[in-house]
Amino acid sequence: MVKLSVRRGIVASLVVLLCSTAAIAQSPPPPAANPPGVAPGTGQSGGQGLELLKHAADAQKYLFLFFYQSEDEQTRSLRGVFEATMGKVADRAESAIVNLADPSQKPLVSKFGADRAPMPLVLALAPNGAVTGGYPLKFDEQLLMGAFCSRSTWESLKALQDGKLVFFCIQNATTKFGPEALKAVQDVKADAQYAKLTEIVTIDPRDAAEADALKRLNIDPNTGEVVTILLAPPATIVNRFMGAVTKEAIIAEIKKAAAGKGGCCPGGACGPKPPAPGTPPAAATAKPQPDVAAVKAQPGAPAPQRPPGASAAKP
């Protein structure tokens, strides 16, 4: 079995090709200090801790979390930016202010490693739980708005963050060889060796909401032939297949990408060596959790980039 090696790192590394670069703007005047724990504002999310995630998911909304540790001027100023922005997107996003010192928030803080990240920190999560943006130390409205993604983006991000390979299947009823290409991908996923390691994300090239995704993938929305793209964590294009493709050809590319990159193979056989960060997949046994501990962004640094196929369109 070929398993995937996923870089254990910061949330920003998983969305490094997903977010458009934007300038850092000045924040508005700071609001009043917030009480300990979660202090929801406009578009607030109900509950505390991990309940926040479930509440937003059930409502099919994004969730923006503002983590802070101290009541300094920067925190108050950025909270003003956060709350003003959230007031504009209350119809599609919930939000909460999370104090790291509140014991009731420990499960939520630990899940994302927020207690080891520079403060303040905003994390944006899609309705399916995918982290679509991580903004430490400094941000503006434009950056926060950039966390909203198209369906294909947050579906692929969730799979990548779970340590899986993603098949982007770009086709519709009019593209040639669509059934053949889709069957090949489905056959790979049906294979016991790859069933838990792969996800399929379909994109209609005529879908206006995916226009930016197609542009980043260099795909003509009027393509007459199916395109299948294989993506590996954290956001690396392994290969793209034009037209008809077979299960065997896809698996050959997966093994080729893994060769010389992994660790120990299942059954004790010695496999390839571990990959450098950001390289194609190799053997691994554990599924990492997103970790913001290594965030090193400095004030004025550019925003994370979206992976190939991203769209900043509304969900």
CATH superfamily, with its number, for domain 19-148: Glutaredoxin (3.40.30.10)
Residue extents of the structural domains in the chain: 19-148, 152-268
Amino acid at 122: V
Q: How many Å apart are CA 225 and CA 180, to the nearest integer?
A: 11
Q: How many Å apart are CA 194 and CA 164, to the nearest integer?
A: 9
- Per DSSP, what are the bridge partners of residue 199? 166
What is the pLDDT tens value at each position of the chain, 315 positions in all?
333 333 223 233 333 333 332 222 222 333 333 333 444 444 454 456 788 999 999 999 999 999 999 999 999 999 999 999 999 999 999 999 999 999 989 999 999 999 999 999 999 999 999 999 999 999 999 999 999 989 999 999 999 999 999 999 999 999 999 999 999 999 999 999 999 999 999 999 999 999 988 888 889 999 999 999 999 998 889 999 999 999 999 999 999 888 855 432 333 332 233 333 333 333 333 333 333 333 333 333 334 445 444 444 444
What is the strand order of the sheet 236-242 is part of?
198-203, 165-170, 227-232, 236-242
Tell me how crowded residue 23 is: count the other CB atoms within 10 A of its CB.
10
| CB-count burial class (<10 Å; 0-12, 13-18, 19+) for 103 | exposed
**Phi, psi torsion values for 87, nearest 5 degrees:** -65, -25
152-268 shares the fold of 19-148? yes
pLDDT of residue 298: 34
pLDDT of residue 40: 47
Q: How many Å apart are CA 86 and CA 250, to the nearest integer?
A: 43
The CATH number corresponding to 152-268 among 3.30.470.20, 2.30.30.40, 3.40.30.10, 3.50.50.60 equals 3.40.30.10
pLDDT of residue 253: 92
pLDDT of residue 54: 92
Q: How many Å apart are CA 275 and CA 58, to the nearest integer?
A: 38
pLDDT of residue 73: 93
